[in-house]
Amino acid sequence: LLELQICSDVVEFPEVAKGTFPKLQTLDLSSCESLGSFPEVPKGAFPKLQTLDLSYCKSLGSLPLSLEVLTTLRKLTLKGCKK
């Protein structure tokens, strides 16, 4: 579990490489209102990610098509994202 909730100063999530988070199952970036982008996701970067919470990331404009490589992802939350 990696929680970065309510991080108003986070503007972008850093680039990730294959094998960066080999055991991460939940990534919670909810209420990071200044988060404007999410990086491209290379195959193997989050091999066990099941939950990605981007709710209330009001500045988030779009998500990369590369999220399709997250084959274990079961829940993607975008509630409250205005763009």
* Separation CA 9–CA 28 (nearest Å): 15
> For position 8, what pLDDT does the model report?
63
Q: Average pLDDT, whole number, for the chain? A: 84
> For position 35, what pLDDT does the model report?
86
Please tell me which residue, 48 or 2, carries the higher pLDDT value: 48
Q: Assess whether pLDDT exceeds 70 at residue 2.
A: no
* Separation CA 14–CA 40 (nearest Å): 10
For residue 81, what pLDDT band results from cuts at 50, 70 and 90? confident
Q: What is the mean pLDDT of residues 44-57?
A: 92
φ, ψ of residue 77 in degrees (nearest 5): -110, 125
